[in-house]
Amino acid sequence: MTPVVLPSRAVDAASVAVAKAVEPASPAQQPQPFQHSQPPAPVSPKTVAIEGVAYRRAPVIEYPDTAREQEQEGTAIVRALIGVSGAVERASIERSSGSRLLDQAALSAVKQASFYPYRENGAAVAVMTLIPLQFRLEE
């Protein structure tokens, strides 16, 4: 194999081309940084008072036997997302009753409830509501 020697003129031209490629562009020629367009933030459903929604099937509270035996009482407030069909799509404890057993019973009751769709301007819309469920032992 014979080594290939390039004429110095070709090397110089290549060096000049590389040097020009890395020179900073003038401010008018500099590319603008790519700006990511942010998708709009999801709009949270409107929160309405429980009086603003109508039950199709109200929550049926089942007092847990263990909570009854331990004489646990309290009021759990459940935050519920009511979908456009009136079904409870999501439920969470907004304020605890002070008892894990009562809170779980409250969540279960709300998840099984259903509502008539909430309407605004004639169209069904998803809404959030707070549902208080009271657990009191009869004397």
From residue 138, alpha-carbon distances to 68, 92, 100 in Å are 10, 27, 20
30 pLDDT tier (thresholds 50, 70, 90): low
In a domain, 114, yes or no: yes
In a domain, 62, yes or no: yes
pLDDT at residue 44 in the model: 77
In a domain, 2, yes or no: no
pLDDT at residue 8 in the model: 38
In a domain, 117, yes or no: yes
Q: Is the pLDDT of residue 103 over 50?
A: yes
In a domain, 18, yes or no: no
Q: Is the pLDDT of residue 18 over 50?
A: no
CATH code (residue 98): 3.30.2420.10
Our CA angle for 15, 21, 23, nearest 5°, is: 105
Q: Which domain holds residue 93?
A: 54-135
Residue 120 CB-half CA count within 13 A: 9
pLDDT higher for 90 or 3? 90
The mean pLDDT of 84-106, rounded to a whole number, is 97
Residue 62 tokens read as 């089942």
In a domain, 38, yes or no: no
In a domain, 11, yes or no: no
In a domain, 91, yes or no: yes
Share of the chain above pLDDT 90, in %: 60
Whether 48 and 127 have beta carbons less than 8 Å apart is answered as yes
Please count the structural domains in the chain.
1
Q: Is the pLDDT of residue 104 over 70?
A: yes
The three-class DSSP label of residue 6 is coil
